[in-house]
Amino acid sequence: MRLILNVIWLVLCGLWMAIGYAVAGLICCVLIVTIPFGIASFRIASYALWPFGRTAVERRDAGAGSLLGNVIWIVFAGWWLALGHIVTGIALCVTIIGIPLGIANFKLIPISLMPLGREIVPSDRPFATR
């Protein structure tokens, strides 16, 4: 079932959202100071490309630096990407077959707003729980 959902996701919205994250990551990597934001954006791009079967958990070693970085990320790139998830989530929820994909899009909003201090792990592993 995960494979089917991931393939449908990839065709309908995953590729476009991953391109959005990749563009944000490239812009962040061009500016030397924001390279950690670029790395986080690329990590989320791979998650947005193929989300079913993986989950995002908070890292235990994340501190005040990731909190400050997340505030900066929200101001410059996070709200644009979250808005993309909201729009595509609503569009997917209009159809009956797209409701699970729309819900998955809404679940990606918190990580699009605060990517630093998060880690993407397989959801079937014991360490995937908070």
Rounded to whole angstroms, the Cα distance separating 28 from 5 reads 30
- pTM here is 0.82
Residues 63-120 pLDDT 10s: 788 888 889 888 888 899 899 999 999 999 998 888 989 998 998 999 999 888 888 8
**For residue 105, what are its two tokens?**
């899009």
Rounded to whole angstroms, the Cα distance separating 111 from 71 reads 13
What pLDDT sits at residue 30? Answer: 92
Residues 6-64 pLDDT 10s: 898 898 888 998 999 999 999 989 988 889 889 989 999 999 898 888 888 887 777 78
Rg of the chain (C-alpha set): 14
More confident residue, 114 or 129: 114
Neighbours of 9 (CB within 10 A): 24
Rounded to whole angstroms, the Cα distance separating 31 from 124 reads 37
What pLDDT sits at residue 117? Answer: 82
Residues making up the chain, counted from first to last: 130
Chain-centroid distance, C-alpha 2: 17
What pLDDT sits at residue 91? Answer: 92
Give the 3-state secondary structure of residue 97: coil
Query: What is the largest distance, in Å, between two alpha-carbon atoms of the chain?
Result: 44
Residues 48-59 pLDDT 10s: 898 888 888 887
Rounded to whole angstroms, the Cα distance separating 24 from 57 reads 22
Report yes or no: 79 and 112 within 8 Å, Cβ to Cβ. no
